[in-house]
Structure 1
């Protein structure tokens, strides 16, 4: 059987290796290599084994997503979309502020304990360990928690494969889908596993039909996998019989939750060389009950967190793991644009086979901060902003992460956020050039104008400077944004001091962003994102 391999003698190993090379030369049937069924990544041939996993990333305003969420293909005008973006940003800002306030309280407690014990290091567990076979100890922010659901991905699940539109969530670990699973057939009234008599399952418009997948296998509630390993994924102590499925009740901030059963299943993902790969025996959630409108329209959540059961960690186990990258296209100009998300950090050998995952020649890197003092956010050491080559007179305290400020890169926030002292200085410089145009009042922006006579070379050129000398130079269209016919606005908003500065996803557009956990750095470079 293709998926099974008996122990062999050295001679047998040599013969088998020779035969394997022979067949690989003539048959594409070895795209998925031999391997132990318990190995979710199946040892593919060398080329595929080294490829990273790529997903198309669809913004929630993309017509394909909008149809799923709203039941129609309505194309909003730019002004409506910007209002929607601002509302999502406000929700996310509130959640970030709440999280940081809780973090500051915890930091104060830790500092007091550290001083009393004369300890030098505080909160060691929040810092990323070197790349090993153990999970990367890193917390990430959940788009589902914050209700942003900015980006979606498609995933093929089961055998035969069914395609689902999932929220891409870097802050949770369980990949789950709305699901229908029959625990018994015929007269089920006396079957203890027939939960329908006790609680009503939801009827989803689009769901994984688990009984029709030949590779769907439930995790039993009496197994060590359920009682120990899956505890971190909210497995509950509910076990009617030893063979009953392992149940989870996965909770998100804000009261949303997903309840269902754990199962082993086959996932089919795309590689950066254009091929597909099967991740067999992957843990998924078959969700039968959901609470919270954050999941309305979506088929489920792709967990891209850092537990040993998330897709992010599975990529970190691979040769090219230990990070992720994404490239965001300009979704304001083209609502149908498709971005991409890649699990794993490309290396020269893998980059050569695909232009989409290849780091540009002029990739710039700056230090990535995770943990204290940034809680579960991606922190960077931004120390200043310049306009047309002149550093702006922004108070240094604005960039001080230990005074409640600092800077994060956040794909879940759209508009870039600056603490008031920095915002006021930047706005003064930008408006001094733009006030020659007719001003228009449009919420939520502080400054909008008639752009019929405007070109981007008329605006000051902003550059963002990091402590190690690295400079990020976004295109002008990423901070002077078009919001309607003949209308442009300054796409930067303020937060009262002290607060985090946030490099939002609009400012990140048309750049490849690469988060390397092993080297603790974030790289960026201009890119067409194709």
Structure 2
């Protein structure tokens, strides 16, 4: 009898332990929230956003923007302290009364984004190649300052035109302008009267004669000689920037006052006053350069640092960019890596990326494929204007192979030519996919959300891996990978940090 009782006790204990283990496993609701080899893509939510993206109502958004501006003005007098803070708008969701979309479906919107992306990437690679192989020393420029710059720039020698916009006050008194925000550019500029040729913009074209602080720069000033493409005309400095799609701005380089939100104005900012401008800048009056060069806006601030969160590309909401040293303490989920500088090109923000894991396994990527050479070529840059990340062959092929091996349970899909790894998932609500992790120095890891590496390309359920192969040794981490992350570019301490889901 004792033996039977003992056996019954052991069976009961075993059953209890099994039930407890089963309940514990059931409590892990979403693998994307815990370490592992897979993560969960919410297909339904992603496809819902593709539909909402085409239902954007610009007039309503414009009324909300005006209400926000009135509210801000009312509160301004009571604000004891103010930071340099701006709202960020996605290019495809500008709150303007006459803003219209020509896209009949989400596939058309995707193709338009990818065309801009191609131009952007081409211009970045061209800029990097010119900087590494050519020479633009200040001494050489001062010895042979040209008197004309028209026609001297090859399309693609500068940066792309950006995907995010904000509203900036220019001059004194401040005149508000929608501006492209671009971490891959160093020259800020705005369309100016009198226009030789100007494209249509949302706000009145800026008139420098109405500003008390507009001061043209002299030809041999430090800022003029710092410009990549400048010329001397009538003793004043002139500039020209040309973008990957052929858009350009030509005009006078000046020192001007910029107002960011409710903060005190920033004086003597290098600003191009463009009298001849053409391009696909949508409704923007110009561009606010956020690169690391000596002419960019951050370079005029004491800390040269800023923090941003990129709004979801398919959501007509706003996010924030703050200028100055980070005010919030790093959180447990914050991942940091070194901010590197190139000896040949000042503009770009280079990261110390040491590896990538797919499905819990670190890829066999040669360290040299992610590192910057002694001549300044290669490396990894962070760029807000590029959407789809570009990886060189030694990085991309191991990543793609590992991802394909982990997704054999998914149906093949179709996508635009830039993509070679796509899946069709219309009937599924949630699907398991391999996890993707970026590795940084000191064993730090940044685990990406599935939406940071799988992007919808239509409303029919086709998703593609948001990476593409490039023949260039330079790797670009695009904005798909750092959406819904708080990113800090800390120039003072040479650090870049990422905090997921903190926008």
TM-score when normalising by structure 2: 0.68
Instruction: Report which stretch shifted further, 405-414 or 204-213.
Output: 204-213
Q: 3-state SS of the aligned residue for 2:468?
A: strand
Partner of 1:302: 288
Unmatched 5+ residue regions in structure 1? 1-26, 32-46, 110-122, 124-141, 182-198, 240-245, 271-275, 352-357
Q: 1:414 to 1:143 in 2, by over 3 A?
A: farther
- Does 2:238 match 1:248? yes
- Does 2:124 match 1:96? yes
Q: 3-state SS of the aligned residue for 1:278?
A: coil
- Among 379, 395, 400, which residue is 2:350 paired with? 379
* 1:29 shift after superposition: 5.7
Partner of 2:84: 53
- Does 2:264 match 1:269? no
| Distance in 1 separating the partners of 2:242 and 2:392 | 28
1:419-430 matched pairs, under 5 angstroms: 419-430=392-403
Whether contact under 8 Å (2:123, 2:156) holds in the other structure is no
Per-residue Cα deviation, 1:122-148 (whole angstroms, up to 9, x for no partner):
x9xxxxxxxxxxxxxxxxxx9993333
Q: 1:166 to 1:409 in 2, by over 3 A?
A: same
- Among 106, 110, 122, which residue is 1:78 paired with? 106
- Among 303, 310, 318, which residue is 1:328 paired with? 310
| Distance in 2 separating the partners of 1:342 and 1:171 | 17
| Distance in 1 separating the partners of 2:356 and 2:164 | 29
1:57-206 matched pairs, under 5 angstroms: 57-64=88-95, 71-74=99-102, 77-105=105-133, 145-158=158-171, 161-180=174-193, 200=196, 206=203
Q: 1:458 to 1:308 in 2, by over 3 A?
A: closer
Whether contact under 8 Å (2:311, 2:318) holds in the other structure is yes
TM-score when normalising by structure 1: 0.65
- Among 469, 485, 493, which residue is 2:459 paired with? 485
Whether contact under 8 Å (1:257, 1:290) holds in the other structure is yes
Per-residue Cα deviation, 1:271-314 (whole angstroms, up to 9, x for no partner):
xxxxx123165446573522331546321122334567643123
Unmatched 5+ residue regions in structure 2? 1-74, 138-154
Whether contact under 8 Å (1:330, 1:509) holds in the other structure is yes
Whether contact under 8 Å (1:219, 1:226) holds in the other structure is no
Equivalences, count: 402
Q: 3-state SS of the aligned residue for 1:79?
A: helix
| Distance in 2 separating the partners of 1:433 and 1:96 | 32
| Distance in 1 separating the partners of 2:213 and 2:347 | 34
Q: 1:87 to 1:396 in 2, by over 3 A?
A: same
Partner of 1:257: 249
